[in-house]
Each structure stands twice: as structure tokens, then as C-alpha cells.
Amino acid sequence: MKITQVESFKQSVTLRHPFKISFATIYELQTIIVKVTTDTGVVGFGEASPFEPVTGESIATELVALDALGAALVGVDPRALERVHNVMDATMLGHTAAKAGIDIACYDILGKDSGLPLYQLLGGDSNQVVSDYTLGIDTPEAMASAAQEQVAAGFTVLKVKVGDDDQQDIAAIRAIRAAVGPDVELRIDANQAWTPKQAKRVMRAMGDDVAAVEQPLPASQTQDLPLVRALVDQPVMVDESVHSATDAFKVLAAGGADIVNIKLQKAGGLWGATQINAVAAAAGIPVMLGCMVETKVGIAAAVHFVAAHQNARYADLDAFLDFASPSWLHGGFTHVGGIYTLSDAPGLGIECDL
């Protein structure tokens, strides 16, 4: 089996509501669906969804990168995943979103060729995953109302974006806790917004209402994460500080995190995610699979990964809920609240009319 063509399809969908985090407000989904065709007729789909503040990439850069990577991969067996990544890395450095799009499509092909859903191909035996739902920054009252709505819809874990204003953040957590009761788990994500002193002050004020804090410091201050762990009682999760297995090794060797958030778009796809998870597992550290603003193509790949790996204990894979499902996209998984059930169709289980 050989790759004969790699195609890119830019897609844009307006979000139902603006989504605010500490350093940006997102109004629409902008993503690239990647289609890899082979000489046997098997076709795989992936997704490249860059987020420039995190990956340093844009839709424009990744479209150019995909053209170059696709040309380099013609004639390569898509099932030979290490070879695929070696060719991509030799062609260009970085561009992890573009590489993720091709990587996911190749895994889709591998699953289709074997006749197995991806989670089984990766060694998993359960097709169900529990995801949280993420609340963007708003007034405490609006966030509490949104939290109630999502708990009523069946979510038992909420991730709450913070980092815009300390007192508002504390008020929001208290309002959300009062609205949803004691049994819903709350995690917060500061998206690099704090100093160590801020983290100490805010986390102590939030206390037992919060189960974990994600990326409290800027990625440029990753070396100070061990200090934050010493200052706060809650587990510290890293996101922007870890893009690769090397990053994970450095952070965990320094004692900088209790949980690692893996995103396929940062890691260059499932291949890189597997390496990061292996480093974390060796250190006794669990991982979470997160996402950028992606469709169910990219999200399905991450759900399969969680289903297949015992060390992937957490999932933050809700971005597809923030916009109407595109008419060209079918399958992958169903969900009732935060419980996602994967299709048993081969590969990702996704069909794209592109």
C-alpha cells in the first residue's frame, strides 16, 4: 500500500457563543480536514487544527506545510507510521498541526486496512470514555448558569477557564459550586495567566472546591512549576509546557507536574501522543487528552487514544459541542452527556463527504 495523494480542505464554522480564555477569545472554528488516498483505494481522514498562540502555527502556514509534506509522502506506506514521521520530520521542523492531520489519517487507514476500530488496534478493550465540559470565562452568574445546564445534560466533570481577574475567578468557582452541588468535579485552567504567588493565593481561596489546576504559569516559566506544586494543595496539570516527549521528560524529571495534558495538535498526532504518554506512565504520572477547537475528526482520534490507554485517565474533548455538526461529517462516536461511545467501524469510524 502506498500514498498516492494528500489533500487539504479548509473549513470554517461560527461557534454558538464566543469562547474566552485568559489570553484570547475564539469566535469560530477554523480547521483543515486532511484526506490521504492510497493506491489500494483505502482513504483516511485526519484534522490539522492549529492554534497560533500555542502551536505558533496558522491555517495559512499549515496549508503550505501540508502541500510540502504530502508531496514528500507520495509512495510511502501509510501503515509504516515511524517511516511516515521520519519523512515528515526530515521535510520540515515543527508544523505539528499539519503533521497531526496526516498522522491521524494514516492511523485511520491502518484501522480500515486491518478491519478494526482504532481503539482496538491500539490495544484497548472498551469503547467508552468520560469527558469533561469546559466553561469559558464570563461573569460568575453566567458561568454558574452554564454549569447547571451542562450538569443537567449529563456532564459530571467541568473544566473552568480562569486567569482574567483573580477575584472574579474565585467568585465564579464559588458560584459554580453552589449551583452544581458537591458531587461535580471542578478543574480549573489558568492558561499561563499566573505567577507562583497568584497561584498560591487563588488556589488557597478556592480550596477543596477545585480538584486540579492546569497550566498556572507561562510556558516560558516552566522551570518554576515545582515551586507552584509546593505552594498549592491541588494537583498541577501541564498543557502548554509540554509539546513533545522530551518536554514531558524535562518537566516530570524536575517534579513540575502531577498530570500531563496531551493534545494531538501539539504532539504531531497519535504517534507523538503515544511517546508522551509512555514517558508520563514511566514516571507514574497520568495524562489527559485535550483538544483545540476541532471537529469530531480530530476529537474521535483522541477519544480512541483514551479508550486504548489505561494511563489516559482524563479527557477534555468537548470542542465539537460548541458548533453545529458540519453536514459533510458523519460517525465517529455518540455521546450522552459526558459519556462517549465509539463506533466499532474500522479506523476512526468517521465518514467525510469531501
CATH code for position 181: 3.20.20.120
Cell numbers linked to 307: 479508550
Same domain, 47 and 73: yes
- So what's the pLDDT on residue 22? 87
Q: Of 94, 115, 136, which residue is a domain's last?
A: 115
pLDDT-based confidence at residue 156 (cuts at 50, 70, 90): very high
Same domain, 186 and 334: yes
Q: Which domain range does residue 237 map to? A: 120-352
The answer to whether the Cα torsion of 247, 249, 251, 252 is positive or negative is positive
Q: In the chain, what is the straight-line distance between the N-terminal and C-terminal CA atoms, in Å? A: 22
Cell numbers linked to 23: 489570553
Helix 270-282 / helix 96-114 crossing angle, nearest 10 deg: 90
For residue range 275-298, list pLDDT tens digits in order. 999 999 999 999 999 999 999 999
Same domain, 96 and 147: no
Average pLDDT, the chain: 97
For residue range 121-130, list pLDDT tens digits in order. 999 999 999 9
> Which whole number is the average pLDDT over 124-147?
97
- Tell me the backbone φ, ψ of residue 27, rounded to 5 degrees: -110, -25
In the chain, the number of structural domains is: 2
> Which whole number is the average pLDDT over 243-261?
98
> Which whole number is the average pLDDT over 237-254?
98
Same domain, 175 and 95: no
Same domain, 243 and 324: yes
DSSP class per residue in 208-239 = GG-SEEE--S-GGGGGGHHHHHHH-SS-EEES
Q: What is the CATH number of the domain that holds 39?
A: 3.30.390.10
Same domain, 259 and 337: yes
Assess whether 263 carries a catalytic annotation. yes
> Which whole number is the average pLDDT over 126-148?
98
pLDDT for 325 beyond 90: no
Assess whether 161 carries a catalytic annotation. yes
- So what's the pLDDT on residue 345? 98
Considering the candidates 112, 263, 266, 296, report the single residue annotated as catalytic.
263
Is 209 flagged in the annotation as binding?
no
Q: Of 100, 115, 130, which residue is a domain's last?
A: 115
Helix boundaries (H) for 236-347: 245-253, 264-267, 270-282, 296-308
CB atoms near residue 37 (< 10 Å): 17
> Which whole number is the average pLDDT over 78-85?
99
> Which whole number is the average pLDDT over 46-50?
98
Cell numbers linked to 174: 464559588
pTM of the model: 0.96
Considering the candidates 35, 112, 161, 296, report the single residue annotated as catalytic.
161
Cα–Cα distance for residue pair 10/44, rounded to 1 Å: 16
Same domain, 143 and 83: no
pLDDT-based confidence at residue 181 (cuts at 50, 70, 90): very high
Is 189 flagged in the annotation as binding?
yes
Same domain, 244 and 176: yes
Q: Of 115, 139, 157, which residue is a domain's last?
A: 115
> Which whole number is the average pLDDT over 149-157?
98
- Which residues make Cβ contacts (< 8 Å) with residue 24, sequence separation at least 6? 53
Do β-strands 329-331 and 133-135 pair in parallel, antiparallel, or remain unpaired?
unpaired
CB atoms near residue 148 (< 10 Å): 15
Cell numbers linked to 111: 484501522
Same domain, 185 and 322: yes
Same domain, 289 and 166: yes
Is 214 flagged in the annotation as binding?
yes
Cα–Cα distance for residue pair 103/333, rounded to 1 Å: 20
Same domain, 18 and 142: no
pLDDT for 14 beyond 90: no
Same domain, 90 and 125: no
